[in-house]
Structure 1
Amino acid sequence: MKIVHVISTLDPVKGGPQAVVARIAAAQCMLGHDVHVISYAGATVQEKAFRTAAGIPEFEKIRWHLLPDADRLERVTCIKGAKLISKVLRFADFVHLHGIWEPILLRSASKARVAGIPYCVTPHGMLDVWSLRQKAWKKRLALSLGYRRMLCDAKFIHALNSDEAQLMRPLGLKVPMVVIPNGVFPQEFEQHGSQAPFREQIGMPAERRFVLFLSRLHFKKGLDLLAHAFHSVASRCPEVDLVVAGPDDGAQDEFLAIVRELGIEHRVRLTGPLYGASKLQALSAAACFCLPSRQEGFSLAITEAMACGAPVVISDACHFPEVDTAEAGSVTPLAPAAIANALVAVLENDRLARKMGENGRRLVMENFTWPIIAGKTISSYRLYA
């Protein structure tokens, strides 16, 4: 099959969907398909995106069609994007759109529809109840101006978990929902390398342990909740610090203000974004991974943490109940006290932490790998085409 993926940007700082597109495309290439990706990515973004994807198997087989970073006019009109889309969609068998609120996706859906090419949409959590409440009037307007039709004309909506599929029901979309999760390439996690370079990078002594948060520094990721939770953890586990890794997406200043107010700034370290070997070293070195998010579609960071053998503490809004059922960590409500208690339970019991890490790695390697996931996407394309 000739498969075309479309996403608005490849910039890694924008979060998980960018990493997902590169990996699902590569996995489909592994299955022998002709896979193309359309996106905006200027020279700087392209270099960064390709560098962070260096360990992905079959990455070099993906056919990239990249436009310069979109200026304000292009973001609205998608004039250059439309020309590229028309060219790449020739002889395509299926189009896979990633995201929602971008003109390049609307244009791609329109051109696919006119050409009689089936397509699906992966919202990546952008259509659940919490997300639709953010800037709600803009999203209602966008739906009325074409985005609802984009969704309704799709052959199916690709949800990342069953909770996400249910949380989209209020939209009343008469489109099949297909649940396919994200995953990992086992090859990326076979050798993590020494933890020492990461510890040296952030000045963390070998005798100190740390809880790791690794995601965008955005309000929805629950950094404020984590700050209050770690205030409790810090007094109960004096040898444990908090490491916060990720690009600032508007929440860093508030987080630092809370940390200073609580008087725990000497126990908290910010690293900025981590990619490649540094990310894997950090995940492998962490005593526990924590993501108390207010909303997730399917977090790659949680899956990667488990693949590295780290026990995880996540919120129920991460929609990853398998963590609990597989005893790979704890799923907590969005409350600092509950998050703190779950973290302390892991940090004070080495045997439990080790067992959780082993269970998590087994869960991921047996159920959440890209070759399996790619096969499910291909089956869905053929079923609904």
Structure 2
Amino acid sequence: MKILHVIANLAPRYGGPAKAIMGMARSLVGLGHQVTIFTTNQDGPGVLDVPLYKPTFHEGVEIRYFPIQNPRYWGTSFSLANALRREIPNYDIVHTHSLYLFHNWMAGMYCRHYRVPFIVRPHGTLDPYIYQRNRSRKRIMELLFENKNMKSASALHYTTEEEMLLARPVTFNSKGFVVPNGVDLDEYANMPEIGGFRKQYPELTEKKIILFFSRLNFKKGLDILVDAFSKIHQQIPDAFLVIAGPDNENYGEKVRQWIGERNIGDKVLFTGMLTGTKKLEALQEADLFVLPSYSENFGISVIEALICGTPVLISDKVNIWREVVVHRAGRAAPCDSNAFASEMKDLLSNPQICDDMGERGKRFVANYYDWEHVGQQLEKEYQSIINGRKKKSMSVVGMSN
């Protein structure tokens, strides 16, 4: 198959979607398919230092970058639109990522025009919490193109059953399938020695690390986390909160304000974005990973923590919470600081429970979220859509004869 993925950006600062699409594409290349990604060079207020227009290759995946232009928040790129107009007829199937962005409009329009089957991946934008934000602006985009895309797409791609259930009221009964994100298990096969993270940050020596590892963003529940930590830090005096992740929107200023109001600044560390060995060190050495998001369609950082053997405490708005709880790899709580404080206190006071969760978490991820297995699931869904389109075309031809 010739497969085209279309996404607004691939810069690491944008977190899960950019990381997931690369794993997805690599897994399909590994199965013998030709996979291309069309995207822009957007990187926050700047741009990525990448070649424009011409193909680049990363682990067998062809990537074409096109220049971002104003309005940037919409992912606008007319050169990307022109490339989609020229190239979409050359692909067997197109997979678009996120909603309410310029590339969705263009890809959907040209897929319909050339009758190329396409899949829409909402990336959590249809979760009620996110769906209602900026509703008037989104409503305009729905009338312009997004409703038409959902109605005419071959399928909507969800990463959890929970995401599909939450989206159902606003998707016009469109067909959907569930294939999760994955992890590259080889990346975690040779972990760094224990102690590197604490050595880099001496204030963490002999401390119990509560790790938040995600973008600093309004939906991530950092207000819940800061308030919950302020409730337990005196009862567990060796607890230390580490906030690791990119701050694309200066949201960290609000977080620091909440920390200052509670006089816990000497118990909180901001590391910025961590990658490579530093990321693995942080995930491995954390005593507890915490993500109290108000909305999270998957939560790739949760899976990364689990494969490192770290127990997780997540909100029941992180859509893999049921799977985590069923496999006893972590706990879930409502988006409430008292509930999180209670769970954090209990887990940090019971290291054996945490150790057992960590071992179960590693087995859980290895069994369900290996990219090779995920790629096989995607391949099956793609082939089913393409075969269905061919059968429909043949029946139309037969009727006309």
The CA deviation at 1:70 is 2.9
Q: After superposition, what is the alpha-carbon deviation per residue over 1:291-328, rounded to whole angstroms, capped at 9, x for unaligned?
A: 00000010000000001100000000002211111111
The CA deviation at 1:251 is 2.6
Q: Which residue of 2 aligns with 1:20?
A: 20
Letter in 2 for 1:178: F
Question: What CA distance in whole angstroms lies between the structure 1 residues aligned with 2:362 and 2:73?
Answer: 43
Contact 1:121 1:156 in 2 (8 A): yes
Q: Which residue of 2 aligns with 1:299?
A: 299
Question: What stretches of structure 1 of length at least 5 have no aligned partner?
Answer: 49-57
Change (3 A) 1:76 1:336: closer
Contact 2:287 2:311 in 1 (8 A): yes
Moved more, 352-361 or 206-215: 206-215
Question: What CA distance in whole angstroms lies between the structure 1 residues aligned with 2:333 and 2:76?
Answer: 43
The CA deviation at 1:199 is 2.3
- The count of aligned residue pairs is 376
Moved more, 344-353 or 192-201: 192-201
The CA deviation at 1:203 is 3.3
Q: Which residue of 1 aligns with 2:62?
A: 63
Letter in 2 for 1:182: N
Q: Which residue of 2 aligns with 1:238?
A: 237
Contact 2:41 2:48 in 1 (8 A): yes
Moved more, 228-237 or 248-257: 248-257
- Matched ranges for 1:185-224 at <5 A: 185-224=184-223
Change (3 A) 1:76 1:197: closer
The CA deviation at 1:145 is 1.0
Question: What CA distance in whole angstroms lies between the structure 2 residues aligned with 1:277 and 1:73?
Answer: 32
Letter in 1 for 2:92: D
Question: What CA distance in whole angstroms lies between the structure 2 residues aligned with 1:98 and 1:159?
Answer: 11
Question: What CA distance in whole angstroms lies between the structure 1 residues aligned with 2:370 and 2:15?
Answer: 19
Question: What CA distance in whole angstroms lies between the structure 2 residues aligned with 1:194 and 1:74?
Answer: 41
The CA deviation at 1:75 is 5.0
Change (3 A) 1:15 1:86: same
Q: Which residue of 2 aligns with 1:342?
A: 343
Where 2:298 maps in the other structure, the secondary structure is coil
Q: Which residue of 2 aligns with 1:176?
A: 175
- Matched ranges for 1:137-286 at <5 A: 137-248=136-247, 249-286=249-286
The CA deviation at 1:139 is 1.0
The CA deviation at 1:46 is 4.1
Question: What CA distance in whole angstroms lies between the structure 1 residues aligned with 2:29 and 2:75?
Answer: 32
Letter in 1 for 2:384: L
The CA deviation at 1:42 is 5.9
Q: After superposition, what is the alpha-carbon deviation per residue over 1:219-252, rounded to whole angstroms, capped at 9, x for unaligned?
A: 1100000001001221121111000011123431
Question: What CA distance in whole angstroms lies between the structure 2 residues aligned with 1:118 and 1:199?
Answer: 50
The CA deviation at 1:90 is 3.9
Corresponding position: 1:333 with 2:334:
yes
Change (3 A) 1:88 1:191: farther
For the aligned residue pairs, the C-alpha RMSD in angstroms reads 1.9
Where 2:63 maps in the other structure, the secondary structure is strand
Q: Which residue of 1 aligns with 2:362?
A: 361
Question: What CA distance in whole angstroms lies between the structure 1 residues aligned with 2:253 and 2:89?
Answer: 47
Corresponding position: 1:379 with 2:380:
yes
Question: What CA distance in whole angstroms lies between the structure 2 residues aligned with 1:238 and 1:354?
Answer: 21
Where 2:59 maps in the other structure, the secondary structure is helix
Larger Rg: 2
Moved more, 9-18 or 118-127: 9-18
Question: What CA distance in whole angstroms lies between the structure 2 residues aligned with 1:241 and 1:74?
Answer: 35
Letter in 2 for 1:366: N
Contact 1:195 1:282 in 2 (8 A): no
Change (3 A) 1:206 1:158: same
Question: What CA distance in whole angstroms lies between the structure 2 residues aligned with 1:220 and 1:161?
Answer: 18
Q: Which residue of 2 aligns with 1:123?
A: 122
Change (3 A) 1:77 1:225: closer
Q: After superposition, what is the alpha-carbon deviation per residue over 1:134-185, rounded to whole angstroms, capped at 9, x for unaligned?
A: 1111111110111110111110000111111111122142311101111111
Contact 1:157 1:178 in 2 (8 A): yes
Identity of aligned residues (%): 31
Contact 1:5 1:95 in 2 (8 A): yes
Q: Which residue of 2 aligns with 1:133?
A: 132
Letter in 2 for 1:25: A
Moved more, 187-196 or 133-142: 187-196
Question: What stretches of structure 2 of length at least 5 have no aligned partner?
Answer: 51-56, 387-401
Q: After superposition, what is the alpha-carbon deviation per residue over 1:166-215, rounded to whole angstroms, capped at 9, x for unaligned?
A: 11122142311101111111101111212433223333443122100011
Moved more, 79-88 or 321-330: 79-88
Letter in 1 for 2:364: L
